[in-house]
Amino acid sequence: MPKPPRSDSMKHLFAILILIAGLVIAPPASAGDLIISRAVLEDVTGALTISDVTGREFKPVGPTLYKGFTDSAYWLRLRVRAPAKGNEVVLFIRQPFLNEIRLYEADAGNPLGWKTRVTGNYYPYSKRDRARNSLGFVVNVATPEATYYLRLKTSTQSQLSVEAVAPDEAEHKDNQLDLLEVFFVTSMLLLLLWAIHSYLLDRLPVVGLFAVHQAVYTLYGIAITGYLAPFIPGGYPQLADWATAIPYCGVSFTTLLFCRELFKPYQPPPVLMRGLNLFLLAFPIELAAMALG
């Protein structure tokens, strides 16, 4: 028996999805990363100045600097070549939850001086070089190559990825992230609405807990990718940390609550259920630790 033909609306839907996917994955027309070399220096005390570090030996590092949770500050030395067209270059930085990243660049009017700028989630969104959820700086590379220093100090995970790209490529990267965030939030909200509707119909506790987890997970996804930044008032660094840390901890807590309810019909060993209860105690301990700094 022949299959019924697809409706025109279904064909249009697939065409739109293919078009959006193409926009997300399409490479930009400009060149790629303009960074010639990256090197890192650990500042254990956090007291080194730019004058101290310029004469010290740095260790080569890849595109991502990952040090986890640490009290150290880290200095990243970047050698950047000039773009093929113009002088403007964007130092495109991820992750958006990093507290403070300070840029040092040579002062053309003072050979011994350094100009400095700062960004991070501790600083007002409105004062960023670029009003986007990603962090970064706009610099001018007038010579064939230039050297820049970044100082990273954060109470979050020290996970910094930096590229030097042309402005149009930076815009393309931000647009990709925006589209991916739209896909994520839309799908998560639809799943949340389904869970709420199902719970109102049957009043099953496991479905209600899934709805709670889905709401917290959606908030976590929005926070961890930096999209809460425009709504956090400047001058409240603790609020910036909590906006990411509380959803981060809450996801684990709601996952455990949902799993406990999901396991109950299968009558798991009591030891397993008590173990899950012990894990649940970590959430209030984490909240207390954050409150105490």
| 23 part of a folded domain | no
Q: Which two tokens stand for residue 165?
A: 């790209």
Q: Which two tokens stand for residue 177?
A: 């992230």
Express each pLDDT in 137-148 by its tens digit: 999 998 899 999
The answer on 180 and 159 residing in a single domain is: no
Torsion angle of the four alpha carbons 196, 201, 207, 213, in this order, in degrees rounded to the nearest 10: 10
Residue 247's SS3 state is helix
The domain boundary residue, chosen from 165, 183, 218: 165
The answer on 181 and 246 residing in a single domain is: yes
The answer on 159 and 40 residing in a single domain is: yes
The answer on 219 and 203 residing in a single domain is: yes
Q: Which two tokens stand for residue 236?
A: 């409240």
The answer on 285 and 188 residing in a single domain is: yes
- Counting the structural domains of the chain, the total is 2
Instruction: Output the tens digit of pLDDT for each of the chain's 293 residues.
Output: 444 444 554 455 445 545 555 544 444 433 489 999 999 999 999 999 999 999 899 999 999 999 999 999 999 999 999 998 889 999 999 999 999 999 999 887 676 789 999 999 999 888 888 888 899 999 999 889 999 999 999 988 899 999 999 999 999 999 999 999 999 999 999 999 999 999 999 999 999 999 999 999 999 999 999 999 888 887 788 888 889 889 988 999 999 999 999 988 888 888 888 888 888 888 888 888 877 76
Burial bucket for residue 201 (CB in 10 Å: 0-12, 13-18, 19+): exposed
| Domain CATH for 39 | 2.60.40.2380
The answer on 146 and 60 residing in a single domain is: yes
The answer on 54 and 159 residing in a single domain is: yes
| 184 part of a folded domain | yes
Is the distance from CB of 69 to CB of 159 less than 8 angstroms? no
| 75 part of a folded domain | yes
Q: Which residue has the tokens 């007291």?
A: 47
Q: Residue 61: give the domain boundaries.
A: 35-165
The domain boundary residue, chosen from 103, 138, 165: 165
| 53 part of a folded domain | yes
Q: What is the DSSP string of 65-87?
A: EEEES-S-EEEEEEEEEPPSSSS
| 253 part of a folded domain | yes
The answer on 158 and 269 residing in a single domain is: no
Is the distance from CB of 160 to CB of 93 less than 8 angstroms? yes
Q: CA–CA separation, 139 vs 148, rounded Å?
A: 9
Express each pLDDT in 1-43 by its tens digit: 444 444 554 455 445 545 555 544 444 433 489 999 999 999 9
The domain boundary residue, chosen from 165, 200, 226: 165
| 186 part of a folded domain | yes
| 19 part of a folded domain | no
The answer on 180 and 155 residing in a single domain is: no
The answer on 81 and 107 residing in a single domain is: yes
| 159 part of a folded domain | yes
The answer on 140 and 43 residing in a single domain is: yes
The answer on 263 and 203 residing in a single domain is: yes
